[in-house]
Structure 1
């Protein structure tokens, strides 16, 4: 699941319309539509607002948001998966 799909799911489960959520986030309805369709990236600070509005896990939203950022960075790279594996091993190294 992508961050856009998760936001749409949370919004629809609560019965909220796009224009209502867009207003609460102080963004345009068209922009929110693009976020939900993974064409635009929402600001990180909006994740807390979404988490609070829908009583959703901020950690899950942040993880999905970061995953989209990483994917956008490597999606057109031939060595994308190799780079992810190296980054994962570096993350394990720096955690110690």
Structure 2
């Protein structure tokens, strides 16, 4: 079960020629945990995203957006009205910005 966030961090890590065993300790986790995050089998803690962005030389907001999108998808993926619920949320967010 790949996630957008997991795919992105794996792509960035490989692009920098970094191994799991190099990145995982910087996040205070073992390589198996990071591997599971990349495969979408486990979620990274939100508070770790800034550090990960720094390690991978990535935009923190881009990583956070994908992380949030994966969280929302996980909640609504099996719901018949999932898409409609996402639209309602989008409208609510738009109204808060005005």
TM beyond 0.5: yes
1-side partners of 2:26 and 2:95: how far apart?
41
TM-score (norm 2): 0.92
Contiguous gaps of at least 5 residues in structure 1: none
1-side partners of 2:26 and 2:15: how far apart?
17
1-side partners of 2:54 and 2:32: how far apart?
22
TM-score (norm 1): 0.94
1-side partners of 2:83 and 2:42: how far apart?
23
The 4+ residue runs of structure 1 with deviation greater than 3 A are none
Match of 1:73 among 60, 72, 75: 75
Aligned partners of 2:4 and 2:70 also within 8 Å:
yes
1:30 CA drift (Å): 1.1
2-side partners of 1:9 and 1:45: how far apart?
21
**CA RMSD in angstroms, aligned pairs only:** 1.1
Equivalences, count = 96
